Amino acid sequence: MATVTIIGGHGKIALRLAKILAARGDVVRSVIRDEAQSDDVAATGATPVVADVEALDTAGLATVLDGSEAVVWSAGAGGGDPARTYAVDRDAAIRSMDAAASAGVLRYVMVSYFGAGPDHGVPEGDSFFPYADAKAAADVHLAGTTLRWTILGPSRLTDEPGSGRIAVGGTRGPNSEVSRDNVAQVAAAVLSDPSTAGRTIEFDDGDTPIADALT
pLDDT of 73 higher than 90: yes
Give 87's DSSP letter.
I
- The stretch 139-150 carries a mean pLDDT of 97
> In the chain, at which residue ranges do the beta strands (DSSP E only) sit?
3-7, 27-32, 47-50, 70-73, 107-111, 148-154, 156-158, 165-168, 177-179, 199-205, 208-209
Of 98-102, 108-112, 169-173, minimum mean pLDDT range: 169-173
Q: Using CA atoms, how far apart are residues 25 and 107, in angstroms rounded to an integer?
A: 18
Give percent of the chain above pLDDT 70.
Answer: 100
Tell me which residue of 42, 37, 31 sits closest to 73, measured CA to CA: 31
Q: For each of the domains in the chain, give its residue range(s) and CATH number, in order of start.
A: 3-213 (3.40.50.720)
In whole angstroms, give the CA distance from residue 202 to residue 190: 13
Overall pTM > 0.75: yes
Hey, how many other C-beta atoms are within 10 angstroms of the C-beta on 89? 26
**CA-based torsion, 109, 52, 181, 188: positive or negative:** positive
Note the pLDDT of residue 49: 98
Tell me the pairing of strands 208-209 and 165-168.
antiparallel
193 has pLDDT over 90:
yes
How does the average pLDDT of the chain come out, rounded? 96
DSSP-derived 3-state class of residue 208: strand
d(CA 152, CA 54): 22
| Tens digits of residue pLDDT in 29-54 | 999 999 999 999 999 999 999 999 99
Under the banding of pLDDT at 50, 70 and 90, the label for residue 95 is very high
In angstroms, the CA 8 to CA 112 distance is 13
Q: For the range 80-86, what are the long-range contacts, defined as Cβ-Cβ under 8 Å and sequence gap of 24 or more?
A: 82/130, 84/54, 85/130, 85/131, 85/134, 86/130, 86/133, 86/134
The single-letter code of the amino acid at 203 is F
